Amino acid sequence: MERTRPAILHGFTPDVIPFNMANPWYRVLHRFCNGLYFSRISVLWPERLPRTGPTIYLGLHRNGAVDGFIYHAILPRANFMISTQLRRNLIGRLFFTGIEVARDRDEGEPGTNLEALNQCMELLRMGGELVIFPEGTSTLGPRHLPFKSGAARILANYLESGSPIQVVPLGITYECPWAFRSRVEVVVGAPVATDLSDALHPLGRLKELKRSIQSALESVGVNVESEQYQQMIHRLACVATLGTKRSYFKTLKALERSIPEKILLDWRALRPEIEKRKLWHHQGVPLFPLGSVWWCLLALGATGPLVGLGALLNLPPLLGAWWAGKKFPDGPNVISLWRILVGAPLFLLWMAAMAMIAIVSGGWLWVGFYALATFSGLKLYYRVKKLAVAVHNGLRYPELRPQVLAFRETVLRETAHEPPSPALRARSKFGEALHEPPPHPFPLPIPWGEGGRRSGEGRFMVPMSGKTKGGFP
């Protein structure tokens, strides 16, 4: 096929293309926010990321605009298609930039989307990288939202030129999407095939591209039948990954279609014992020490005061972020966003105030002490939460520990292999093995808007929670 310049849509000729994601301000700010709010961001299959050439990244959208911060950290050269509403005020313009589009529910100027599509074409023609969220908005639900046709249309339009392009799906998995210092995994999928038959008419090509895009995105996400089942497998993934090097996403993916029968049977034996006791929980599951509870108590005594000191020295920004997370979100998928939008600027202002006090008073040792305490508190916060829960449960209910450890071994063993074959899935499908309707083998966690003690990870055992409340873990 003869190669031509990718088409610029009729009605707009871009004179200046505002590709700003490479702006050092946004790169530094997004990395700062990621490092402040999350304890670890891992990338699965990073070798699939293209090194050069025009690329379209198709990202699953889970946790509001925070997804963009994380994707930008691993794709520093990429430009993002963003909603016009993100840049309507000063704070939005400080945090977000990209090629603006008006969604159906957004207020946009006439021609905004036409201009945005042409900016995308020009960016790709120049060999750039473009990130699109085909769902258009985010959700923490059990399945992805319907994919819009915009990404397929941009790709189809570019392919008309005959120029090569790489299309890479991206997934994102949060251990707990709204939790401070939680962990995140970004999944890089296999490239989407763009070789289409010349016999296909334009509409047929568009439909084929949409099918390929949907299949690719479903391979890097976890899609299950209900919120209840989603909650179950998240808790099992927590059990399987705590204190191990296993991938949280891979564990969820292995449980996507069914939960092994052995896990269900062992849980039903353990659940009554858990429900009798007032255990503390992390992400909906209790923790127990794998080793001596006294060593855990000693570790908690050594690290807990450091975290407490760091929190005390940064109390104003922490309280501001906590308040924002309670006041502004209209759903769990934007809690982290509001905490970052309010907490990050407050933290920067607070650090500046501390520095000014040191300059005026000459207390440079105080600045060093503050910086060390803040850094230590951030690094140790995640582990101290887990230690506190494990020590409480281990000291108060030591008789339960052997049963819990046995359940952990069952989960590790049963989730160590690849997802079962279709025939085995048919026999062990959740609920079918015991000839009963889908039960509630794992109680539902605390709703996102309620309080409750949570902590988690490390060298501790974590069975399912014994309290039944609604919400996503």
CB 172 within 8 A of CB 185: yes
Burial profile 136-148: b = 16 or more Cβ within 10 angstroms, e = fewer: bebbbebebeebb
What DSSP string describes 297-345?
A: HHHHHHHHHHHHHHHHHTHHHHHHHHHHHHHS-SSGGGHHHHHHHHHHH
**How many angstroms separate the CA atoms of 166 and 49, rounded?**
10
CB 240 within 8 A of CB 251: yes
pLDDT tens, residue order, the chain (473 aa):
444 444 444 333 344 444 555 588 999 999 999 999 999 999 999 999 999 999 999 999 999 999 999 999 999 999 999 998 898 888 899 999 999 998 666 555 545 688 889 999 999 999 999 999 999 999 999 999 999 999 999 999 999 888 999 999 999 999 999 999 999 999 999 999 998 887 888 899 999 999 999 999 999 999 999 999 999 999 999 999 988 999 999 999 999 999 999 999 999 999 999 999 999 999 888 899 989 999 999 999 999 999 999 999 999 999 999 999 999 999 999 999 999 999 999 999 999 999 888 888 877 888 889 999 999 999 999 999 999 999 999 999 999 999 999 999 999 999 986 554 333 333 333 333 322 333 333 333 333 333 333 333 333 343 444 333 322 22
Class of domain 24-219: alpha beta
Q: Quote the pLDDT of residue 449.
A: 30
Q: Is the pTM of this model over 0.75?
A: yes
Structure tokens at 72: 């930008």
Integer-rounded Cα radius of gyration of the chain: 24
- What residue segments make up the domains of the chain, in order of their start? 24-219, 227-461
User: How would you classify residue 60: left for phi > 0, otherwise alpha for psi between -120 and 50, otherwise beta?
Assistant: beta
Q: Quote the pLDDT of residue 343.
A: 97
CB 68 within 8 A of CB 75: no
Q: Quote the pLDDT of residue 362.
A: 79
pLDDT digits (tens, 9 = 90+) for 203-243: 999 999 999 999 999 999 999 999 999 999 999 999 999 88
Phi, psi at 173, each rounded to 5°? -125, 125
Q: Which of 72, 207, 58 is nearest to 135 (CA)?
A: 58
Q: Quote the pLDDT of residue 111.
A: 55
Q: Quote the pLDDT of residue 172.
A: 98
